[in-house]
A and B are shown apart, each in its own frame.
Chain A
Amino acid sequence: AQSVTQLDSQVPVFEEAPVELRCNYSSSVSVYLFWYVQYPNQGLQLLLKYLSGSTLVESINGFEAEFNKSQTSFHLRKPSVHISDTAEYFCAVSVGYSTLTFGKGTMLLVSP
């Protein structure tokens, strides 16, 4: 069975600073990888996904993540964060179309 580890439960950062949210997974077979974001009082929304092909994937709001097979990682990065990026971020993994396994989440706190 697959598993996901998000190494930081909370990441405080100042506005316009870069940020990296870390995610490592464990699986003996090929996986699909996802980042979801949850804004306060809302459900989760897909931020970006890796299925195959290019190992660097990007979202429409400036986030990117890189699939690193050798390190079994899928870290999320943004070069310059905004206050509006304050949210909880969840990394998730699936083997094919099996059910998703989520990490425990990382709260990104952006302050002025």
Chain B
Amino acid sequence: DVKVTQSSRYLVKRTGEKVFLECVQDMDHENMFWYRQDPGLGLRLIYFSYDVKMKEKGDIPEGYSVSREKKERFSLILESASTNQTSMYLCASRPRGGANVLTFGAGSRLTVL
């Protein structure tokens, strides 16, 4: 089975800190995604990547950046964390072809104080 691993399940950071959320998948998927999940708002796409060193903005990219230096790893970066970035962050991946089915990680719950 495809596995998407988010290394940090829970993080607590202070306003203004730089935050890295890491995501690794082990099935050679070309496409990787970062969503944030908030109660009553569902999942909103932050950034995605179709290949190494490629990135595309999603619906809510402001305040975030990403890095994809290796195919299996997709990092979400909060340059200067703010309290309104307190949320659950979900990473997902899928292969280039196929049925557009995403495999999700377990999520990283970030609290910014």
Contact = CB atoms under 8 A, between A and B. Distances in A.
Contacts of B48: 99
B58 A102 contact: no
Interface residues of B, number: 21
A59 interface: no
Main secondary structure of the interface of A (DSSP, over half): loop
A43 B100 contact: no
A73 interface: no
Interface of A: 6, 9, 32, 34, 36, 41-46, 49, 51, 90, 94, 96-97, 99-100, 102-105
Contacts of B99: 32, 49, 51
Nearest to A103: B42
A20 B100 CA distance: 25
B40 A44 contact: no
A70 B4 CA distance: 37
B29 to A, nearest CB: 13
Nearest to A1: B59
A104 B42 contact: yes
B56 to A, nearest CB: 9
Nearest to A41: B106
25 contacts: A9-B40, A32-B100, A34-B100, A42-B106, A43-B4, A43-B90, A43-B92, A43-B106, A44-B43, A44-B90, A44-B102, A45-B104, A49-B99, A49-B101, A90-B42, A90-B43, A96-B100, A99-B33, A99-B58, A100-B45, A100-B100, A102-B42, A102-B44, A103-B42, A104-B41
Residue with the highest number of chain A CB atoms closer than 10 Å, among B42, B92, B106: B42
